Structure 1
Amino acid sequence: MTGTLRWTDRVLELEVGPVAHGGHCVARHEGRVVFVRHALPGERVHAVVTEDGGGTFCRADAVAVLEPSPQRVEPVCPWARPGGCGGCDLQHARSDAQRELKAAVLAEQLRRLAGLDREVPVEALPGGQLGWRTRVRLAVDDLGRAGLRAHRSHDVLPIADCPLTPVGVLPPVLERRHRPGAEIEVVVDADGIVHAPGTTAGPVVARAAGREWLLSPGTFWQVHPALADTLATVVGEWAAVPAGGTAWDLFGGAGLFASVLAEQVGPDGRVVVVEAARQSVADGQRALADLTWIDWRSGRVEDALAGLADRPDVVVADPPRRGLGRDLVAAIAQREPDRVVHVACDPAALARDVALFAEHGYPLRELRAFDAFPMTHHMECVALLGRA
């Protein structure tokens, strides 16, 4: 293999292999790995190479399917195609097949990074495959037109709508002109009110775990309307903090999990929330003002842990996509909690963290996965790690 080899724009005939993390499948051609989008395992396709850095692999889009998989369906969106939107990776697969593909990715990451042979089904959430996305970020091109970005590109596609969002939400925003180069967040809250540029709506209403939050613009909340309640239920069941106990809620956002943990420990207990986004902390403090035994800490988790002197019974962690990493896993394990509940949106980062916790005597006890992002390769997982 020479370092100067370039296949960009070349059309390859490929036998498509297994699904891989990232929304593509793996094929091989002339000794090189080809990551193919818009294909399914077992298919034979013509694929055009879209990126080639000259190394051991390149990227390609399937532009013609010569032998289709029985799991293949026609995408519902015209932009879910080669050269189209970067958001949907799996619109060409049946809904059950999408979950099977995600489960295969999760199992492969656990084997490769954590040395675990574990099959975990990816569970569907209520609401179906379309209309679930209550939060979407649009980009604006040089002409002021809002749209979605193309796959692995800064190019803005001037779409007319997106079927993943509730019907009627995006067209009014897409029809207007906006400041070139801007980014726009469109949110549909729990009352069905649309929050977007040009609207006069108040705070974003969110409800979960039997409570209500009034969120400021930009405050993080789960995109799928059923996910917050689902996660709160699982985290509560697995945390099981004793009355009067201590729980840490790391990367706690506006306090979704803290609300559940605080109810478990009661007024004689303590819940410490650590969150870097000050606005999220402020929103959480307002929403959970009655739970006075929640101790809110605004700052980086890495910095805040040094100032926490007590031993927690349970640690709940919901880090960003990159996961916890070696240093944070070690810092948590050193405090010797009985259990750690790890919420993760990236299976590779989760598998790495699972392996790290096992090194510190916290093997994986339970694991659930949810199809919180239908039509895409993303999923949400919750892992329970307990002292050996």
Structure 2
Amino acid sequence: MGPVAHGGHCVARVDGRAVFVRHALPGERVVVEVTEGTEGDRFWRADAVEVLAASAHRVPAPCPVAGPGGCGGCDLQHVEVAHQRELKAAVVAEQLRRVAGLDVEVTVEAVPGDVDGLRWRTRQRYARLPDGRTAMRKHRSHDLVPVEDCLIDAHRPPATTVHDVGFEVAEGGFWQVHPGAPTALVDAVLEALDPQPGESALDLFAGVGLFSRFLLERVGDAGRVVAVEGEPAAARLIGVNAPGAEALTGDVAATLAGADVAPEVDLVVLDPPRVGARREVVEAVVARRPRAVAHVACDPAALARDVALFAEHGYRLDGLRALDLFPMTHHVECVARLVPGGRS
């Protein structure tokens, strides 16, 4: 079995064709069952249904429905938690190398509130079987699998207090699901930016104002924070959670196109959706010549694309923290620091 790839698979080769195999580990010999793909396709998807030679990092999955043909929610329950982080680090490094041309050493950090990678998800949605039992969907399928007890479900609501500050979140609105995530992300962003009294900051894709609140504390009364959020219910709460921030509601790219929207700033926080910030937003950010940008990314490929765009405009990657906010899955959150000065 070949190396780990973005998405939680390992890459195998069959007659020159790439096969993306779930439930495997690099270096293993396994029997695979093709789940998607025909003879004419460039690549296939498959499950490892039998392990002939196991990795030293393989463990029994704690969840009885986490394996091939089971629930599609967790990709990595068959892997030691510490090694899960090593695999995620390899994926982040590979994406930065392949897409952005950077050779970066990556370490994925555990965050407070993690217990063996389980019981961290404070918001969970289930499907229902006709007989009323709870269920989850199979990987890339609408088919349902009965799940009596999802082991990553924390069975408690999210904590919306960060550094002794309470935040209001709209019903059904976005808030990080790992209990340690908001604090860890705030700390990483503030470390990346080191805001100083009197500075100005843009908080883009600002949500309910999590980062804005702590930026305001650092820049003080002489500073300025402008928050832009496209979802109206979230944007309305910025004034509640971060009083003193200037909250703008609208598409981030379109809003930044207005010349009067913070034409010059010292700092920028970018926390875009999974697709990344993309060219229009990146170019609007660099046009304001911030001394530092903190890019919060939940997808390594999108982060690498954005880092490459920043490099085109003279901003280099000057630091990266990767946080294990989604144990047992292939997902990983990164906070990248970008500063003017060419390529790293």
Alpha-carbon distance in structure 1 between the residues aligned to 2:136 and 2:224: 43
Is 1:320 the equivalent of 2:273? yes
What do residues 315-347 of structure 1 show as CA deviations (whole Å, max 9, x unaligned)? 100001110112211111111111111000000
Alpha-carbon distance in structure 2 between the residues aligned to 1:189 and 1:375: 19
From 346, 360, 364, the equivalent of 2:313 is 360
Residue 26 of structure 1: CA displacement? 0.2
The equivalent residue for 1:68 is: 54
* AA of the residue aligned to 1:47: V
Q: Name which of structure 1's ranges 70-79 and 50-59 shifts more when overlaid on structure 2.
A: 50-59
What do residues 355-386 of structure 1 show as CA deviations (whole Å, max 9, x unaligned)? 11011000000001011111000001000000
* AA of the residue aligned to 1:382: V
The equivalent residue for 1:10 is: none
Is 1:33 the equivalent of 2:2? no
What do residues 298-325 of structure 1 show as CA deviations (whole Å, max 9, x unaligned)? 1110111123143011010000111011
From 44, 47, 62, the equivalent of 1:58 is 44
**1:96 counterpart SS class:** helix
Q: Name which of structure 1's ranges 119-128 and 339-348 shifts more when overlaid on structure 2.
A: 119-128
The equivalent residue for 2:4 is: 19
Alpha-carbon distance in structure 1 between the residues aligned to 2:96 and 2:88: 12
Consecutive unaligned residues of structure 2, counting only runs of 5 or more, are none
Is 1:112 the equivalent of 2:65? no
From 120, 123, 127, the equivalent of 1:132 is 120
The equivalent residue for 1:188 is: 157
Q: Name which of structure 1's ranges 100-109 and 302-311 shifts more when overlaid on structure 2.
A: 302-311
**2:315 counterpart SS class:** coil
Q: Which has the higher contact order (CA 8 A, sep 6+)?
A: 2
Residue 144 of structure 1: CA displacement? 5.4
Between the two proteins, what is the percent identity of the paired residues? Answer: 55
The equivalent residue for 1:350 is: 303
Alpha-carbon distance in structure 2 between the residues aligned to 1:189 and 1:32: 44
Contact kept? 2:205, 2:270, Cα under 8 Å = yes
Alpha-carbon distance in structure 2 between the residues aligned to 1:368 and 1:309: 28
Number of corresponding residues: 336
Residue 141 of structure 1: CA displacement? 4.8
The equivalent residue for 1:94 is: 80
The equivalent residue for 2:220 is: 266
1:304–1:142 Cα change, 3 Å: farther
Equivalences for residues 149-168 of structure 1 within 5 A: 149-166=137-154
What do residues 187-215 of structure 1 show as CA deviations (whole Å, max 9, x unaligned)? 6132xxxxxxxxxxxxxxx1113310132
Alpha-carbon distance in structure 2 between the residues aligned to 1:285 and 1:209: 18
Query: Please, what TM-score do these two structures have when normalized by structure 1?
Result: 0.84
The equivalent residue for 1:184 is: none
Consecutive unaligned residues of structure 1, counting only runs of 5 or more, are 1-15, 170-186, 191-205
The equivalent residue for 1:231 is: 185
Alpha-carbon distance in structure 2 between the residues aligned to 1:332 and 1:78: 47
Is 1:283 the equivalent of 2:237? yes
Q: Name which of structure 1's ranges 17-26 and 142-151 shifts more when overlaid on structure 2.
A: 142-151
From 267, 283, 287, the equivalent of 1:330 is 283
The equivalent residue for 2:173 is: 219
Is 1:303 the equivalent of 2:254? yes
Alpha-carbon distance in structure 2 between the residues aligned to 1:113 and 1:135: 33
Residue 55 of structure 1: CA displacement? 1.4
